[in-house]
Amino acid sequence: MTDTLLLTVLLKHDQGQNLDEIQAHLKKMDWWERFPVEGVDVVSWTVAMGLGQIVTLRLPPALLPRLNVELERSAWGVFRTECYPTYDFVPVREVIRERVRNGGQ
C-alpha cells in the first residue's frame, strides 16, 4: 500500500481569452510558483491542442484539499478544471497480458 495517490487534472482553456490574457492572469495569481502546492510532485504535464493541459500529480491524500483550494484560487478564470484519481495501468496490463498468454482471461 502506498501513502500517495495519482491525480490527473485537466486544465481546459477558456477559449474566450487569448494566450496573452491567460498568461497575464496566471502571472497575476502567481500560478507558476504556487501550483502545484508544496509536497506534490508533477508526474507529467502535457498540452493537448484544442483541449488544454493535462497534469498528472503524485501527492499524499492529506494534501488534496490544499491542492483543490489552489486550483480554485488561481486556475479558475482561465481554465475549467476536471480532476480524476488515476493509477498506473502498465503493471496491471502486463499481468493481464501474461494471464491471457497462459490461456486465462
In one-letter notation, the amino acid at residue 63 is: L
Structural domain count, the chain: 1
Q: Name the percent of the chain in helix, strand, coil, to the closest 5.
A: 40, 30, 30
Give the CATH number, domain containing residue 72: 3.30.70.920
CB 83 within 8 Å of CB 7: yes
Has residue 1 got a pLDDT over 70? no
Q: How many CA atoms lie within 13 A of 50 on its CB side?
A: 0
pLDDT (tens digit per residue) in 52-94: 999 999 999 999 999 999 999 999 999 999 999 998 899 999 9
pLDDT (tens digit per residue) in 13-28: 988 999 999 999 999 9
SS3 10: strand
Q: Domain residues for 53?
A: 5-101
